[in-house]
Amino acid sequence: QSVLTQPPSVSAAPGQKVTISCSGSLGNIGNNLVSWYQHLPGTAPKLFIYENDKRPSGIPDRFSGSKSGTSATLGITGLQTGDEADYYCGTWDSDRQAEVFGGGTKLTVL
């Protein structure tokens, strides 16, 4: 059972938009910055969003992040088949004094 709650899967057609939610508590998302990672098994995970809504260089602006209260959201517009992957939210948990991730969301581009 992950500390942060994500939907197990989301899907949409190419060109469409999708959002992935990440729900936590005051001790983690509520008082700390959120990151989002993309992971394809067998490859190195990749940071896509940090500090709630910032994109590292090289990440297209089709990807966006937001946070409100104890929840965060990853948005992806103009979906491409190459976006198919597992996406994870992560943040520091002040109560556990440890970094925590969500259980991951598998994105399928139909």
Question: Which residue stretch of 13-21, 64-72, 73-81, 82-90 sits at the interface with other proteins (rule: CB under 8 A)?
Answer: 82-90
For the beta carbon of residue 19, count every other beta carbon within 10 angstroms: 14
CB of 23 to other proteins, least distance (A): 15
Cα separation, 2 vs 82, in Å, equals 27
Question: Which residue stretch of 18-26, 60-68, 71-79, 84-92 sits at the interface with other proteins (rule: CB under 8 A)?
Answer: 84-92
Which residue, 39 or 62, is less far from other proteins as judged by CB?
39
Quick one: which of 5, 25, 70, 101 contacts other proteins (CB under 8 A)? 101
Q: What is the phi-psi region of residue 41: left when phi exceeds 0, alpha when psi lies from -120 to 50, beta otherwise?
A: beta
* DSSP notation for 39-71: E-TTS--EEEEBTTTB--TT--TTEEEEEETTE
Of residues 9-68, those binding other proteins (CB under 8 A): 32-35, 37, 39, 41, 43-47, 50-51, 56
